[in-house]
């Protein structure tokens, strides 16, 4: 058991601050992760809508050839997204060029996620990969008599890197803040308890031969001042 009141106060101060900082760090990290994923999902939805509009415009509402679909997919650009077009049987029929952030995105995994599901199903899911996770949004569309499933893929690498930077900042900042808090709490406790040490030393020197001495009362209105005044009144009665 720690006998020093100053150390106990400093530890209590640091412990309370540690709980607050950890709760703040966890809440901040969770909020950033959730909001970043929501922004990515909204980007994927916008990209899917834009691609479907371009595909419909290129086909003129008629039965588009597969070459037309492939050409629209090849020319489509929106941020760092990649478009994959599957037929109703979950077979890949067109894809936009592979960008530097999508080189590990595997269309086969997306096809497996689509296989066996009703055509009208809209999906939003994350695909883990050796090159990093990818967020995928799939939505069905019909262009003339053809039925397609448009999948828009976005790498989560930048989001993960940003979150890793936030995590590393917390890992460095929280221990430093706790160390400074412990030192500051110890100094504050030492200054606050300095009158107690002074009263203890003065009381130890008072004996039967010097009952006329009194304890110092630095601030008669606080708790330590009232304690010193009470002890002085006891000496006066003696």
Provide φ and ψ at 217, rounded to 5°: -120, 90
**What is the rounded CA–CA span in Å between residue 122 and residue 118?**
9
- β-pairing verdict for 134-143 and 123-127: antiparallel
Distances (CA, A) of 227 to 197, 217, 223, 224: 13, 9, 6, 5
**pLDDT > 90: what percent of the chain?**
25
Cα 64 to Cα 51: distance, rounded to the nearest angstrom: 14
Most trustworthy range by pLDDT among 1-5, 13-17, 149-153: 149-153
pLDDT of residue 73: 85
More confident residue, 65 or 139: 139
Q: Token match 């950033």: residue?
A: 32
130 pLDDT more than 80: no
Tell me the average pLDDT across 40-55.
91
Give Rg (Cα) of the chain: 35
Query: How deeply is 67 buried, as exposed, middle or buried, from its count of CB atoms within 10 A (0-12, 13-18, 19+)?
Result: exposed
DSSP characters over 62-120? S---HHHHHHHHHH---TT-EEEEEETTS-EEEEPPP-TTSTT--HHHHHHHHTTS-TT
Mean pLDDT of the chain: 81
Cα 168 from Cα 137, distance rounded (Å):
30
Q: pLDDT band at residue 101, thresholds of 50, 70 and 90?
A: low
Q: What is the mean pLDDT of residues 14-39?
A: 93
> Residue 145 belongs to what H/E stretch?
none
At residue 211, the 3 state secondary structure works out as coil
d(CA 136, CA 86): 13
| Model confidence band, residue 77 (pLDDT cutoffs 50, 70, 90) | confident
Q: Is the pLDDT of residue 163 over 60?
A: yes
pTM of the model: 0.74
pLDDT above 90: residue 191: no
pLDDT for position 75? 85
What pLDDT sits at residue 1? 56
The answer to which of 92-96, 114-118, 217-221 has the lowest mean pLDDT is 217-221
When pLDDT is averaged across residues 212-237 and rounded to a whole number, the result is 72
């Amino acid at each position: 058991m720690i006998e020093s009141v100053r150390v106990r106060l400093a530890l209590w101060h640091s412990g309370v601050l540690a709980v607050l900082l950890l709760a703040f760090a966890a809440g901040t990290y969770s909020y950033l992760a959730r909001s970043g994923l929501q922004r990515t999902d909204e980007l994927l939805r916008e990209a899917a809508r834009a691609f479907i509009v371009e595909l419909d415009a290129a086909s003129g509402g008629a039965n588009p050839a597969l070459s037309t679909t492939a050409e629209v997919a090849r020319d489509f650009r929106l941020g760092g997204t990649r478009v994959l077009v599957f037929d109703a049987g979950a077979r890949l029929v067109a894809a936009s060029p592979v960008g530097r952030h999508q080189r590990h995105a595997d269309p086969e995994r997306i096809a497996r996620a689509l296989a066996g599901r009703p055509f009208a199903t809209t999906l939003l899911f994350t695909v883990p990969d050796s090159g990093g996770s990818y967020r995928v949004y799939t939505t069905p569309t019909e262009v003339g008599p053809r039925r397609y499933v448009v999948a828009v893929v976005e790498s989560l690498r930048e989001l993960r890197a940003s979150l890793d930077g936030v995590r590393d900042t917390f890992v460095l900042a929280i221990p430093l803040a706790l160390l400074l808090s412990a030192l500051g709490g110890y100094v504050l406790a030492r200054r606050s308890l300095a009158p107690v040490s002074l009263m203890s030393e003065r009381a130890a020197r008072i004996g039967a031969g010097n009952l006329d001495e009194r304890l110092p009362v630095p601030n008669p209105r606080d708790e330590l001042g009232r304690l010193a005044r009470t002890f002085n009144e006891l000496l006066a009665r003696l």
